[in-house]
Amino acid sequence: MKNNQFLPVQMSLLALIFGVFLMFSCQQDTPANAHANTHPDVAPDKSFEPFYQKFHQDSAYQMAHIHFPLQGLPQDVDSSSLAQKDFYWTRDSWKIQHDFVKSSGYSQTITAVTPNMVEELILHPSGQFGIVRRFAKLGDEWYLIYFSGLHRVRQ
């Protein structure tokens, strides 16, 4: 088998490990409009910020920096959707992502799990709904590796 055939398996494993880590690390509430790293001893690689800016400004660049099919959750996911098999975004179902606008009342938290893995949580003003995006540096480039559409994150 070629190395690129293992990529979906590696990405799924990476997302699973990250999800377990996230489950244990997200126990504290984040203040509104926070842009914080909850792991002060871990900072994202210095190339993340320029990548993040370009990812939102250049749609061709964005599409080139997403590994499709992209694992995640659809918008408005519920328990019956979660009980089904894994969900994947395709090139055809993907909508170009734009930069987060804080004036919208949403809050944003960016957490560096490792220097080469970052999670972004964008919370609705109610604090009950959110969007989750995970980015990873694979080789010399950053990629979006997980996207969860707006859904209930807290009861």
What is the rounded CA–CA span in Å between residue 22 and residue 2?
31
* Model confidence pLDDT, tens digit, residues 48-70: 999 999 999 999 999 999 999 99
Instruction: Identify the pLDDT of residue 153.
Output: 81
Reply yes or no on whether the pLDDT at 38 is more than 70.
Answer: no
Tell whether the model's pLDDT for residue 12 goes beyond 90.
no
What percent of the chain has a predicted confidence (pLDDT) above 70? 65
Query: 105: alpha, beta or left, given left = phi > 0 and alpha = psi -120 to 50?
Result: left
**pLDDT confidence of residue 154:** 77
pLDDT tens string 87-106: 899 999 999 988 766 667 88
The predicted pLDDT at position 151 comes to: 85
Percentage of residues in the chain having pLDDT higher than 90:
46
Residue 84 has pLDDT above 60, yes or no: yes
Kindly state the tokens that stand for 99: 């930069």
pLDDT at 86: 82
User: Residue 22: pLDDT above 90?
Assistant: no
Residue ranges of domains in the chain, CATH in brackets: 3-152 (3.10.450)
